[in-house]
Amino acid sequence: MQLIRSIQRHETLVKTWRLLHSCVVSVLLRLNADHVRRLLLHGVIGVSIYGVFAFMLGGMYRYPWELVGVVMRLNYVTVRTVAGYVARGCKPLYPEWTLAFELLRAWMRCIMSVYGDRLVLPKNAQFLRWQSDWIGTREGRDACRLHGTTMETFEHNNLEHIWVRGRVLNPSKTTRPRRLVVLYFHGGGFAVLSPRMYVRYANEILAKINDKLAREHVHSPVQVDFLMGNYRKIPEHPYPIPPQDAYCVYEYLIHHEKLDPSQIIVAGDSAGGALAITTLLRIRDRHMEPPLAGLVSCPFVDMTVKGNELETPHCIIGDKAIHAVIKSYHSFEGDPATWGDVSPVHCNLRGLPPVYIQAAELDYILPHSLNLYAKAKADGLDHWVLDVHKNLPHVYTTTPSWILPAVHQGFDALATFAAGRFAESMRNAPCA
């Protein structure tokens, strides 16, 4: 009996399939060639539009059909933001902003608040790294052509790192230029982005450093380069691997490039800012000569402060993103003093070189910068500088200047500090 029922079910499925096949063929036969071409064109357009959104938002959803929900949310945010702009008499929310930046910030905040926890899912994180590589390569080439620099890649510690080679100032046929290097670690919540994404950013700061060195009346030959250091990322590689990789890049400069610490500034933004500080701590703890200075922008350095997006409504970061990153980076249990350098605010900072902290008033993690500066002061580091930029959110300097012209004030501040330290180094060691 079971065999008979099975055969009957099979025959029913076959009949259903044949009926469906006949209906499709019947419809197609009634269509003329123009209708078929039109259907194919609409299909190609639909697939192309889906592909564009999938590329732009690929790190924000788990399954393909979720993309529709992401796009709908962003459409709502767009309408709400533009309506607010019009209601204010076509004025941006803050004088430093533009409508383009207001839209970009609103989109990023929506993504970070609703889908931020997906940044630390392996497939999502890997896609966002690939995406930033792809975009950064194209942006970086254009930036290098514009500024007359070159981009060189090399492998160290099984990771790709990138040199942005600046032009030689005051070239001489008889004297080799003194090399000065900004070792830079990019942000991205210890999880996403890549050094290539920061080549444009490096070019912007490098150009301003060169201009300011000229104003410092530096007459001897000098070449300033950026080294965009890479590191392994969460969720695959939690603490202590990222700071180990960061320190390894610094060692490369000392042992392979044969640079003196007085030729190096260690820098970074957000999570990269944390890696810059941990690198300085590890240099000190190994009783090595400290580098010339540190340079950090909106550093992610206090793992006891998780923040609240309701208190910072105009930042790009949301609760889900921060909470997911902290949970994935390290198991924060017990006394912060036992965590090592995973939370630099809770470390002894004595003996570190001068550090410039660039903070943003609207930043979700502004308390991190404030607490780091307060800890430095408590540890007797009077040569540290805190610079809070008004009406601007987290790492605003990474925004293209055509979207947010105010980034130039951030670049100027970063370059002024770096050029001042480099000029002092050259005066102290003119023949190095």
Same domain, 20 and 138: no
* Alpha-carbon distance values, 73 to 18, 52, 111, 120, 124 (Å): 41, 17, 9, 21, 19
65 within a domain of the structure (yes/no): no
67 within a domain of the structure (yes/no): no
136 within a domain of the structure (yes/no): yes
The pLDDT of residue 268 is 99
The pLDDT of residue 22 is 63
Same domain, 10 and 156: no
95 within a domain of the structure (yes/no): no
The pLDDT of residue 424 is 92
115 within a domain of the structure (yes/no): no
Active site residue 270: yes
CA atoms of 224 and 8, how far apart (whole Å): 80
CA atoms of 115 and 320, how far apart (whole Å): 7
Sign of the CA dihedral running 78, 82, 87, 92: positive
DSSP 182: E
| All residues at 6 or more sequence positions from 246 whose CB lies less than 8 Å from its CB, including other chains | 185, 229, 231, 275, 276, 278, 279
Domain limits at 6? Answer: 1-30
Q: Please tell me the pTM assigned to this model.
A: 0.88
Query: Can you give the C-alpha Rg of the chain in angstroms?
Result: 26
Q: Is the link from the previous residue into 240 a cis peptide, with omega within 30 of 0? A: yes
Q: Is 273 exposed, middle or buried (0-12, 13-18, 19+ CB in 10 A)?
A: buried
250 within a domain of the structure (yes/no): yes
Q: pLDDT 10s digit of each residue in the chain, 432 long? A: 544 445 555 566 556 666 666 665 565 556 565 655 565 554 544 444 445 445 556 677 777 778 888 889 989 999 999 999 999 999 999 999 999 999 999 999 999 999 999 999 999 999 999 999 999 999 999 999 999 999 999 999 999 999 999 999 988 888 889 999 999 999 999 999 999 999 999 999 999 999 999 888 778 899 999 999 999 999 999 999 999 999 999 999 999 999 999 999 999 999 999 999 999 999 999 999 999 999 999 999 999 987 889 999 999 999 999 999 999 999 878 888 888 999 999 999 999 999 999 999 999 999 999 999 999 999 999 999 999 999 999 999 999 999 999 999 999 999 999 999 999 988 886 554
CATH code for position 167: 3.40.50.1820
Supply the DSSP string of 55-96, one letter for each residue: HHHGGG-SSTTHHHHHHHHHHHHHHHHHHHHHHTTS--SSTT
Number of domains the chain contains: 2
Give the three-state DSSP class for 228. strand
CA atoms of 238 and 80, how far apart (whole Å): 38
How much of the chain is helix, strand and coil, in % rounded to 5?
55, 15, 30
Same domain, 186 and 332: yes
Helix (H) or strand (E) segment spanning residue 389: strand 385-389
The pLDDT of residue 50 is 43
| All residues at 6 or more sequence positions from 432 whose CB lies less than 8 Å from its CB, including other chains | 178, 260, 262, 263, 426
Give the three-state DSSP class for 18. helix
CA atoms of 15 and 204, how far apart (whole Å): 68
Structure-token match 């060692």, residue found: 251
Residue 127 CA, chain-centre distance (Å), reads 14
The pLDDT of residue 260 is 96
The total number of residues shown for the chain amounts to 432
Which of 132, 194, 262, 270 is catalytic? The answer is: 270
Same domain, 270 and 128: yes
Cβ neighbour number for residue 415 with a 10 Å cutoff: 22
Cβ neighbour number for residue 371 with a 10 Å cutoff: 19
For residues 107 and 76, the answer to whether their CB atoms sit within 8 Å is no
Same domain, 11 and 155: no
CA atoms of 150 and 279, how far apart (whole Å): 26
The pLDDT of residue 116 is 92
97 within a domain of the structure (yes/no): no
For residues 384 and 376, the answer to whether their CB atoms sit within 8 Å is yes
Q: Where would I find the beta strands (DSSP E) of 233-332?
A: 264-269, 293-297
359 within a domain of the structure (yes/no): yes
